[in-house]
Structure 1
Amino acid sequence: MTERNTTQAPISLRLPQAEDGYRLHQLVAACPPLDPNSVYCNLLQCSHFADTGVAAEKDGELVGFISGYIPPQTPDALFIWQVAVHENGRGQGLGKRMLKAILAREVCRDVRFVHTTITGDNKASWGLFGSLARDFGADMQREPHFERDRHFGGRHDTEYLLRIGPFEQAAAT
C-alpha cells in the first residue's frame, strides 16, 4: 500500500520581477472571471509596480499575484488593481496573506486605506476584502465607480469602488 503525501508545499511570497510578466498573463487566464491584460501590461505590473505587488509561488509555479499601486492623488491609499489566486493556491488564505504582505512593506508606511473595484457578483473578492476590513477593525464603503453603460459601453458589469479604512498601520502587519 502506498501512502499519499497529504502535506502541502509551502507558498512563498516575494516581490514580482519582469520575468514574471508572462507567467502572470497565464495565471490571470487561468482565473476567470478576471479581466486579462496584455503581456506588456503584465510586464509593467511586475516591474514598474513591483513594490506594491506580490508574487506567490508554490513548487516553482506562480499560484498567486496581486498588483496594486499608490495613486499620486491619494498617497495614504493602496489601490489594489487585481488579485489572482490559482486553484492550486486556494483555500489557504493566500489572498489576505498577500494583501497583508504588501501593506507591511516600507513603501506602504503611510497607507491608511485600501481601495479596489469589484463587480457586484464577485463573491470571492467581496469576501476577501470584507475579511481584511474585519481584521483591521476598519469601515467599508462601496459606491458605483465605473458604470456598465457609461464607462464600459454595456460590455462589462459595473465596478464598485470599495474603500477600507482608515486603519492603523500596525493592524496591517
Structure 2
Amino acid sequence: MKELATDIHFRKPNKDDGASVWELIRHTGVLDLNSSYSYLMWCEIFSDTSVVAEKDGQIVGFISGYIRPDQPNTLFIWQVAVHEEGRGRGLGTKMLFKLLNREASKDVTYVEATVSPSNTPSQNLFKGLAKKLDTNYEIDAYFTADDFPGEGHEDEPLFKIGPFQEENKNVKGLI
C-alpha cells in the first residue's frame, strides 16, 4: 500500500464545507449523491461524528456518521468518500480512526455501515478496520434492492464490526 501523505489535515466539518463535500461525493461517481442540503446538514449538525481530510486547502476525503440513538455504543458510517488521487493510501482508514478517537466516540465499541456487493473498496475498508481493531465483523442482510424505489439499486448488507476495546482505537500511525 502506498504511504498516506503527511500533509493531510483532519478536522470536523462545518457548514462551509457542505458544497465541497457534495462536489467530492459527486466526483466519486460511485456513491449515492444526496441533496446539497443534506451535506450542509451533515457538516453542521453531525460534525462531531463526521470528518473531512484536507490537502492544500481542498477536501480530499469525507466520512459522515452518527451515533445510533437506539445503540449508543455504535457509530454508523453513512458515506466514505476519498478523492481518486488519494485512494489506496489508507486515507479512509485514517479518517475512521480519527472519528473513533474523538470524545463523541468514547463509548463506541461497534462500527456499522451498509455496503453494496459491488463496492469492493468499502468492503475491504471495513474488513481491514475489524482487523486493525483486533475484532470480528459480521455481514447480514439489511436493505434489499426491493426496499429502494425505482430500479437499479443494489442490496445494502450491514457490516457490523466489534466489539472492540478502547485501547485498540489507538493504532500507531492512524491517529
The answer to whether the superposition gives a TM-score over 0.5 is: yes
- Structure 1 segment 12-27 matched on structure 2, within 5 A: 12-27=9-24
Match of 2:154 among 137, 157, 171: 157
Q: Does 1:48 align with 2:10?
A: no
Instruction: Flag structure 2 segments of 5+ consecutive residues without an equivalent.
Output: 171-175
Partner of 1:148: 145
Is residue 120–residue 159 contact of structure 1 (8 Å, CA) maintained in 2? yes
Partner of 1:4: none
The TM-score with structure 1 as length reference comes to 0.92
Given residue 104 of structure 2, which amino acid in structure 1 is its aligned partner? Answer: V
| Change over 3 Å in CA distance of 1:9–1:170 after alignment to 2 | closer
- Identity across matched positions, percent: 44
Is residue 63–residue 89 contact of structure 1 (8 Å, CA) maintained in 2? yes
Match of 2:82 among 82, 85, 104: 85
| Deviation by residue 1:66-117 (Cα, 9 ceiling, x = unmatched) | 0000011000000000000001222221000000000000111100000000
Runs of 4+ in structure 1 off by over 4 angstroms are none
Between the two proteins, the alignment pairs up a number of residues equal to 166
The TM-score with structure 2 as length reference comes to 0.91
CA shift for structure 1 position 121:
1.2
Instruction: Flag structure 1 segments of 5+ consecutive residues without an equivalent.
Output: 1-7
| Change over 3 Å in CA distance of 1:9–1:61 after alignment to 2 | farther
Aligned CA-pair RMSD? 1.2
Partner of 2:173: none
Is residue 146–residue 152 contact of structure 1 (8 Å, CA) maintained in 2? no
Given residue 138 of structure 1, which amino acid in structure 2 is its aligned partner? Answer: T
